[in-house]
Amino acid sequence: MQQLSSLIIPLIILFIVCYGLIKHIAVYEEFVDGAKEGFNIAVNIIPYLVAMLFAIAIFRASGALDFILILLTPLADFLHFPAEVISMGIIRPLTGSGSVGVLAELINSHGEDSIIVKISAVMFGSTETTLYVLAVYFGAIKIKNTSYALQAGLMADFAGFVAAIVVCLWYFS
């Protein structure tokens, strides 16, 4: 699996460049022409990213998440799924590095074979860091009013969260 992932990118690059050569494209010139946009986009993103990440940092550092977990544990017990996975469900749309941290912590304390880690890993793999993607994508084109994009993204995350629990409990039972 690891090999496959590390092979894909070089193959794609090779394929694009070769295909360009076959079609008689000035590959170097076209590359530079396309690449010069990169700087402006990154700079455009900065204010959006700062706004989003600093709010998330305050929330994370405050430890409010632990408190929310305590509140939600009875619900998890009632619905018969491990409460530990809720932390992944909450942190996943907020921060990518944070969710890696949560997953590493769960692997450390429960082991890779536990159902808790499996559910969390599936959650991690099946959804994206919604708020980060939103800040980056809309930041790049300077859109502040995001309309209903967040609602759609968060509902998708919630569906992925529920699906991860249901699928794992069924698949690994």
Partner 1 sequence: MLNKIWAGLIIIGLLFTVGQDIQDEISNTYNNGVIQQISFSYAEDSPQLLTLILDNTQLTATIKTDQIIHIHLDTNSPVHLQNIADANGNKNRLIARITSKNNTQLNLLLPELHWHKLRSVTQAAFDMAKFAVKLAIGLIGIMALWLGLMQIAEKSGLIKSLVIIVQPLLYWLFPNIPKDHPVFGSISMNMAANMLGLGNAATPLGIKAMQQLQSLNTNKDKASDEMCMFLALNTSSVQLLPPVTLIALMGTQVSELIVPIVLATSCSTITAVLVAKTYSRRGAKQDKACNS
**Is 109:82 a contact under the CB 8 Å cutoff?**
no
> To the nearest whole angstrom, how small is the minimum distance from the Cβ of residue 74 to partner 1?
20
Shorter beta-carbon distance to partner 1: residue 80 or 173:
173
Shorter beta-carbon distance to partner 1: residue 61 or 80:
61
> To the nearest whole angstrom, how small is the minimum distance from the Cβ of residue 101 to partner 1?
10
> To the nearest whole angstrom, how small is the minimum distance from the Cβ of residue 85 to partner 1?
12
* Phi, psi for residue 61 in degrees, rounded to 5: -70, -25
Per DSSP, helices labelled H in 62-84 are 64-78
Shorter beta-carbon distance to partner 1: residue 38 or 78:
38
Shorter beta-carbon distance to partner 1: residue 75 or 159:
159
**Is 118:133 a contact under the CB 8 Å cutoff?**
no
> To the nearest whole angstrom, how small is the minimum distance from the Cβ of residue 89 to partner 1?
12
DSSP output for 96-134: HHHHHHHHHHHHHHH-TTSHHHHHHHHHHHHS--HHHHH
Total residue count of the chain as it appears in this document: 173
